[in-house]
Amino acid sequence: MQVIKLYLPMKDNDGNDLMSLHECFIDDTRTSASNRISGFTRYEAEGFWFDGEQAYKDDIKIYEFHVENAHFGEAYAYLWNQAYQLCKDMNQECIYLQANNDTQLVRYR
């Protein structure tokens, strides 16, 4: 098994709730990727961004997928594409996608 984590903000930079996009992501994953992804664990965390002397706090949900080795490539590609689209839809600078502790910043721009 290999581990893939996707870090998604709960609110956008203006404080608007993004949880409906989380629900769409879950529904899409259930219907589109069920042959490669059989489930996940989701938990909350806080992330912080620093800009000069100011710190910004983000409330995030971390989705942790345990994927069979045989399905890793397909699952990672699917989650990368989801991260790319969610980055656009959530109006984010980037979305963190982590595979076995190797983090990639997925950017829409």
Cα(60)–Cα(86) distance, rounded to whole angstroms? 13
Residue type, position 9, single letter: P
pLDDT (0 to 100) of residue 34: 80
Give the pLDDT mean for 30-35.
Answer: 86
Residue 102 has pLDDT above 90, yes or no: yes
pLDDT in tens, 46-80: 999 898 889 989 999 999 999 999 999 999 999 99
Residue 22 has pLDDT above 90, yes or no: yes
Question: For residue 48, which of 37, 59, 33 has the smallest C-alpha distance?
Answer: 59
Cα(23)–Cα(5) distance, rounded to whole angstroms? 17
